[in-house]
Chains A and B, each alone.
Chain A
């Protein structure tokens, strides 16, 4: 475990009260730290400052100094004399300095907010009941919190394009756009795909794509998340569900080793959408579009929903016993998985030790986009290293396993998730061995298997992953799994019991964690289960720095050789 660095603090006066805030942060963040909301639209903590919405206007003053001597000028009571800026200033572009005074609750500030709210609404459709953003709309929220509550506008509203297709996944309603330019800045600064801009001027300014371009990059849906109003909407999600019906669960994206923090929104056991969750160490407030699609696998056609043995369905308990029968007293091999949770990998390793099985594991690789889609397309390769399943960097194939089967060194195999044909095992070899498959989707392994144990998707269980920067992060179950199934953890734990003749069941995560953290000479030693529940834990990965990890330098990630260099 590595502790984060300490910040430097300064004292400012917020609405007449002295408070301590980190040096250099802006007035919006400083006020938020002390429970004072400064409403804002264009400001986003992870984008450059535009200062165009003017919603965050506050009053600001600094201690006055004598121009000639530089000495502070004092009031009669001995306190510093404050030079208030005559006009309100924007909080987002005002960075705190020692002794600064900020008022977020004065008459002037309230009046400014009322004025800006009125201006934002004069050309905005007032049709919240049929707007998809309702329930998570900043305009709606701030209008009720800071607006006047009545309209003085009797002119006609501007007309702009509706239902514009900006790209394959994003639909734009220009009339709702308040021209905050967050999406434009995101495209330029984070996605590095400069395709959005305004045309026309004044109140007729219209957001659009540059001619011949479309918003098609793999981060396009982030513009929908940061759009404070109902202008940019997800073509997939729009008008499907009212957001106040959604249950949000904290999750981790399993698309690649970047480990984006996500929120999985579901209603009555059905996932409706996935959105990013802020983590300044990992993904800021972003995630890939492709990662948001993953939930669709939960309901996919090829999902394994029932345990089976030799082609016929049977209850899970029986299937586990059959699996034990199939595997016991054999020359056992074990194909572990970099997509399994750390807890599953730990139990897999425990099983391998008990059965003297030889462990094989493969990696899945792709292009690294330098942002949040890393070259390692598994969420937990480092988990496999930490759990001790391997001490080599996994290759993309399992040729060694194929050889072992050919040589007769292995005649039974427990496969977790992987597709054996795709991994380089020949059909001939596949037919030679007894095979138990545990996983969520059908593939060549499941169709050749003697026993099939259905697993749960990442949304249907809890667990933890170790991402590319050796950050240990846990995720929560979002929806229940199919009826009659158990998580891989529980299945593995039952197998462990069967092989060891023990009755102690390591079926709950905290039990597994107790076992993991009590291991000696492990980077997990001493980490409490309650600790990982609180937030990401930085592990020391230096033990593996000799391995050539495939990830490139990316958002909040530096490859280890660059760190040491």
Chain B
């Protein structure tokens, strides 16, 4: 490993790979667990919220919105009950961090949630867990029973007047259940059709039309550490506006794929791929990287990224120079999303890769609003045709046009999630798309297609 590459700093996943550590409450208490909860309960709820705001922690679910700010938007005047929901529907292809947390250290999440619930005044909290995480739901259920017995959750937490019930709700097996308002609909027992905003902002009209906060697993775990070290102190980890650590999930064609927790901005994409993950397989070269889960725009290995950051500093990056935080991939025209880095080397057929992504989004579109419903399937049909010998030269432009007709015109962000991959793949690898057409014209037996 290169000497200049920083070491991992594990806060959330501190005990994840410790063979002496299990996901039972004994281990958690031994390592100082639920002390933050006690500390939080010695404060006023507003002060807890203030610490989280001061910490500058940004949501780890994908959009990167400051969590403390989200809590501020909560409608407290309505007098309706307030709900806290943990979004554990982790379904973005390329992302697998929340699963590690819940399977290996569930009490960390419970503690974070109880602190958050206390801060926002929720009497009922939910963990909406992805349907496929059978084991995770079982682990969390057991952990909640343990925590209830020990008085960290449920009735009269820590002997105070404050009670907050916590239940695990198994998801409905769809990507869209991870969309905030789709999740709320699903939790209410309906199809997870995302709601229109306005007027259904969860902080005002969320679960059962009551004010609701939905936070990602990693975000809620961070709350525990913010209270432990104080918001001020937490904000010193990482970089300004990119505080704390982030868990990066690296998959694809690297030697050592896996999850890695680093301080925000402490290393670059190149260091991650070539040092931390052991580089590519011998003899291969890097072709493209998706930096933040499948919905993020793809970055081409030989691209140059120039511009100026928010603080005014000019940058001129190659792919490998992009700092791994929130703003780095954003400045490079993509996003850090949920931290799923997908690495593709030169053996990848880029059209097939896009076809794969498109197939996913066509399958997962809820079907509620027109552009996403029809556009995602259309893009899938075009890209599959291209990969089956029926590519035309005009398909690249058609794909771009279809994607443009989806982006920004849908009810939820799924529209962008479906459109961005296509837009970036086609724009950045247009030659591959054109070649697909010309090659397929050349190789195709004119009679073969008609026989289908």
Contact = CB atoms under 8 A, between A and B. Distances in A.
A202 B364 contact: yes
A88 B409 contact: yes
Contact of B369 (A49, A54, A155, A156): A54
21 contacts: A49-B196, A52-B411, A54-B371, A54-B409, A55-B370, A93-B199, A115-B405, A116-B409, A119-B371, A123-B374, A155-B378, A155-B385, A179-B373, A198-B367, A200-B367, A201-B367, A202-B365, A202-B367, A202-B376, A203-B362, A205-B367
Interface string A187-211: 0000000000110111111000000
B367 A116 contact: no
A64 interface: no
Nearest to A202: B365
Contacts of B408: 86-88
A152 B398 contact: yes
Interface in B382-415: 382, 385, 398, 401, 404-405, 408-411
B369 A112 contact: no
Contact of A115 (B191, B198, B371): B371
B355 to A, nearest CB: 13
B148 interface: no
A152 B392 CA distance: 12
B375 interface: yes
A50 B196 CA distance: 7
A153 B378 CA distance: 8
A178 interface: yes
A122 B366 CA distance: 18
A248 B60 CA distance: 60
Q: Nearest 5 A-B pairs (CB), nearest first? A: A115-B405, A205-B367, A119-B374, A155-B381, A51-B196
A115 B367 contact: no
Nearest to B372: A202
A53 B196 CA distance: 12
B377 interface: yes
A90 interface: yes
A57 interface: yes
A73 interface: no
A54 B370 contact: yes
B367 A178 contact: no
A120 interface: yes
Contact of A179 (B198, B367, B404): B367
B370 A202 contact: no
Contacts of B199: 93
B363 interface: yes
Contacts of B374: 119-120, 122-123, 203
B256 interface: no
A123 B380 CA distance: 14
Contacts of B411: 51-52, 54
A294 B368 CA distance: 38
B366 A201 contact: yes
Contacts of B401: 152
A155 B382 contact: yes
B324 interface: no
Interface of B: 174, 191, 193, 196, 198-199, 362-371, 373-378, 381-382, 385, 398, 401, 404-405, 408-411
B373 A202 contact: yes
Contacts of A198: 191, 367
B184 to A, nearest CB: 16
Nearest to A41: B370
Interface in A96-144: 112, 115-116, 118-120, 122-123
A204 B367 contact: yes
Given A116-B370, A120-B370, A155-B378, A93 B198 contact: yes
Contacts of B385: 155
A334 to B, nearest CB: 58
Contacts of A93: 196, 198-199
Contact of B377 (A112, A115, A197, A203): A203
A119 B406 CA distance: 9
Nearest to B365: A202
A201 B405 contact: no
Contact of A202 (B371, B377, B409): B377
Contact of B365 (A115, A155, A158, A201): A201
A225 B374 CA distance: 25
Interface in A147-180: 152-153, 155-156, 158, 178-179
Contacts of B191: 197-198
In this complex, the member of B191, B381, B410 whose beta carbon has the largest number of chain A beta carbons within 10 angstroms is B381
A44 to B, nearest CB: 15
B186 to A, nearest CB: 12
Q: Which of B196, B362, B404 has the most CB of A within 10 A?
A: B196
Contacts of A204: 367
A51 B370 CA distance: 10
B277 to A, nearest CB: 34
Contacts of B398: 152
B382 A202 contact: no
Interface in A57-87: 57, 86-87
Given A49-B196, A115-B409, 7 more contacts: A116-B409, A123-B374, A152-B398, A155-B382, A179-B368, A201-B363, A203-B365
A50 B381 CA distance: 28
A88 B363 CA distance: 26
Contacts of B375: 119
Contact of A178 (B365, B370, B376, B409): B370
B369 A51 contact: yes
A121 to B, nearest CB: 9
Contacts of B363: 201-202
Given A54-B371, A203-B374, A119 B362 contact: no
Contacts of B364: 201-202
- Most interface-central of A54, A93, A200 (chain B CB within 10 A): A54
Contacts of B198: 93
Contacts of A120: 370, 374
